[in-house]
């Protein structure tokens, strides 16, 4: 019993050495849908456009980010020509199915000119027009529009954890798709194969010994 | 629920103790490693996953920076591969991090009867490093294939090629840690060659 206790303690101590436990409380991934876009600055963005670079007039930046239950989308409109964010149709393609949405912008206050500021937007399902997501868009003088919104993964599948591959296509902005995928190792299959290798000779040896005793 | 887990843990310790006393090594190995894996998955895996995914992303990013083929956003456990019209974010979650493989290997090792405690400590450290590096190599290969062949290759790169590489390295590790010493250290008894003069 004492030997087992010492081994267990040694094992746990080793795990503590290897794993930087203090990091676990840090949550870098949180995105606030609040009309401020600073939390998107250090996220990867994909250039979205029609045509072939360098013969492209408008290049938009789109970022797709997900957590266990939601998918977050940020759009930075092109600096020239098509720089205002309007109602947009887009689709999410996943391994659990494809769902189409429309982002509907609420009007900005027109009390002062030019019309600038931040206003809300709602995300509707194309199929039944239910509101499933919310967000904001911002217009400023001399700058292209920003927009951010969030959609629950439950609108795609009742088991969001089963969604491992998501791609976004906003046809009004460009032909590119933005992919966000997992790359799991299929761990339990791997463990089963390795365990068979580990247990195989031991099991065979045990079987032979039992057989010899009989 | 926690009370149930603690009761199960105490029962498991008692069963392991009984199996140790009765010297049923094979059953002790099976029940011990499976039980320990179960409890680690409940209690330790939620704590280990995030730092491990960040560490995997950061270490993969070193290779990505060196090759210039992809960027690592390790704070968010993301590898971002972008070339021409192809752009893909590879999200490293708990099934990609290798945490399950590390725990399974460690649990088997600590109930494997052939090694003493010091040997287990050393082998566990080496095993963790090997699994971690194998995972980095797997992700590097996936990212490299996507970089050169585009998003269309992702399914093959991830589901087939990357996993085969990872499994081969894992099998090699298991062979050297578990299979080989069983063959070498098991008692085969004394033997002599027959006297050729007789």
User: Rounded to the nearest 5°, which phi and psi values hold at A70?
Assistant: -135, 160
Question: How many residues does this entry show for chain B?
Answer: 198
What pairs with residue A146 in β-bridges? A76, A138
Q: Please tell me the pTM assigned to this model.
A: 0.81
Say whether residue A177 is in contact with chain B using an 8 A CB cutoff: yes
Whole-number Å distance between alpha carbons of B146 and B150: 5
Rounded to a whole number, what is the distance in Å from the CA of B158 to chain A's nearest CA?
Answer: 6
ipTM of model over 0.85: no
Which of B79, B91, B166 should one mutate to test binding to chain A, selecting the residue with the greatest count of A CBs within 10 A? B91
Instruction: Nearest chain B residue to A183 by CA: give it.
Output: B96
**A138-184 pLDDT, tens per residue?**
988 888 999 999 999 999 988 888 888 898 999 889 888 888 887 77
A204 at B interface, C-beta within 8 A: no
Are the beta carbons of B162 and B141 closer than 8 angstroms? Answer: yes
* Nearest CB to A4 within list B16, B95, B124: B16
- pLDDT, residue B75, reads 84
The mean per-residue pLDDT over the stretch B133-146 comes to 92
Q: Containing H/E element for B88?
A: strand B86-91
Mean pLDDT of B124-145: 91
Q: Which tokens is A205 given?
A: 């040896």
Q: What is the pLDDT of residue A25?
A: 45
Q: Give the pLDDT of residue A150.
A: 94
* pLDDT tens readout for residues B74-113: 888 889 998 766 688 888 888 888 899 999 999 999 998 8
CA distance B165 to A86: 47
Contact B163 A206 (CB under 8 A): no
DSSP sequence for B103-160: HHHHHHHHT-TTS-HHHHHHHHHHHHHHHHHHHHHHHHHHHHHHHHH-GGGHHIIIII
pLDDT at A206: 66
Interface of A with B in 89-148 (CB under 8 A): none
Task: Name chain A contacts of B51, Cβ cutoff 8 Å.
Answer: 19-21, 23-24
Mutate to test the interface with A, among B20, B44, B51, B98 (most CBs of A within 10 A): B51
The predicted pLDDT at position A137 comes to: 93
**Interchain pair A6, B154: CB under 8 A:** no
Q: What residue of A is the nearest CA neighbor of B179?
A: A198
CB contact under 8 A, B128 and A186: no
Q: Please indicate whether, in this complex, the C-beta atoms of A183 and B121 are within 8 angstroms of each other.
A: no
Summarize the confidence of residues B67-75 as an average pLDDT.
89
Contacts A184 to B, Cβ<8 Å = 93, 95-96
Helix (H) or strand (E) holding A47: strand A46-48
A7 in contact with B, Cβ within 8 Å: yes
Contacts of B112 in chain A (CB under 8 A): 198
Nearest to A185 among B95, B105, B177 (CB): B95
CA A91 to chain centre: 15
Mean pLDDT to the nearest integer, B6-22: 92
Residue B64 predicted with pLDDT over 70: yes
Q: Tokens representing A143?
A: 């700058």
Classify residue A173 by burial, with Cβ atoms within 10 Å: 0-12, 13-18, 19+.
Answer: buried
Query: Are B124 and A7 within 8 A, CB to CB?
Result: no
- Which pLDDT score is estimated for A134? 93
Residue B23 confidence class, pLDDT cut points 50, 70, 90: confident
Give the one of A26, A175, A197 whose C-beta lies nearest to B178's C-beta.
Answer: A197
Size of interface A-B (CB pairs under 8 A): 168
Block mean pLDDT (10 aa), chain A, length 214: 67 57 52 89 88 80 88 91 88 91 88 80 91 92 91 90 88 87 78 77 69 72
On whether the CB atoms of residues A136 and A150 are closer than 8 A, the answer is no
Task: Tell whether A54 is within 8 A of chain B (Cβ).
Answer: no
Q: Of A17, A93, A198, A204, which to mutate for an interface test with B (greatest number of B Cβ within 10 Å)?
A: A198
Report strand pairing: A60-66 vs A70-76: antiparallel
Q: How many residues does chain A have?
A: 214
Name the 3-class secondary structure at A140: coil
- pLDDT at position B53 over 70: yes
Contact: A187, B178; criterion CB under 8 Å: no
Paired residues of A147 in beta bridges: A75, A137
């Amino acid at each position: 019993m004492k030997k087992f206790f010492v081994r267990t303690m040694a094992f746990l101590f080793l795990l503590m050495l290897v794993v930087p436990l203090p990091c676990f409380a840090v949550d870098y991934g949180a995105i606030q849908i609040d009309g401020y876009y600073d939390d998107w600055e250090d996220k990867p963005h994909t250039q979205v456009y029609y045509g072939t670079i360098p013969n492209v007039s408008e290049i938009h930046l789109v970022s797709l980010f997900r957590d266990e239950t939601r998918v977050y989308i940020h759009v930075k409109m092109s600096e020239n020509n098509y720089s205002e964010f309007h109602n947009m149709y887009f689709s999410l393609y996943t391994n659990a199915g494809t769902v189409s949405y429309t982002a509907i912008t609420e009007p900005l206050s027109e009390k002062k000119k030019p019309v600038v500021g931040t206003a809300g937007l709602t995300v509707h399902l194309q199929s039944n027009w239910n509101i499933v997501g919310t967000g904001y868009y911002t217009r400023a003088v001399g700058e292209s529009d920003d927009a951010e919104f969030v959609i629950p993964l439950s609108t795609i599948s009742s088991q969001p954890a089963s969604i491992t591959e998501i791609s976004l296509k906003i046809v009004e902005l460009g032909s590119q798709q933005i992919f966000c995928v997992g790359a799991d190792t299929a761990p339990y299959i791997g463990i089963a194969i390795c365990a068979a290798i580990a247990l195989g000779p031991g099991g065979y040896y045990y079987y032979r010994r039992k057989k010899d005793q009989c | 629920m926690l009370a149930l887990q603690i009761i199960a843990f105490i029962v498991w310790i008692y069963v392991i103790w009984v199996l140790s006393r009765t010297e049923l090594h094979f059953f002790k190995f099976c029940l011990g490693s499976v039980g320990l894996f179960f409890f680690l998955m409940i209690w330790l895996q939620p704590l280990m996953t995030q730092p491990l995914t960040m560490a995997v992303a950061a270490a993969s990013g070193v290779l990505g920076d060196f090759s210039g083929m992809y960027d690592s956003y390790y704070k968010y456990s993301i590898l971002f591969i972008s070339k021409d019209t192809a752009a893909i974010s590879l999200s490293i979650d708990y099934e990609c991090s290798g945490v399950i493989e590390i725990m399974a290997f460690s649990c088997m090792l600590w109930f494997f009867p052939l090694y003493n405690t010091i040997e287990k400590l050393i082998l566990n450290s080496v095993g963790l490093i090997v699994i971690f590096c194998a995972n980095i190599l797997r992700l590097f290969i996936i990212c490299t294939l996507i970089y050169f062949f585009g998003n269309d290759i992702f399914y093959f790169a991830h589901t087939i090629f990357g996993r085969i590489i990872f499994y081969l390295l894992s099998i090699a590790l298991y062979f050297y840690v578990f299979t080989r010493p069983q063959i070498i250290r098991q008692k085969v008894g004394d033997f002599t060659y027959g006297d050729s003069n007789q």
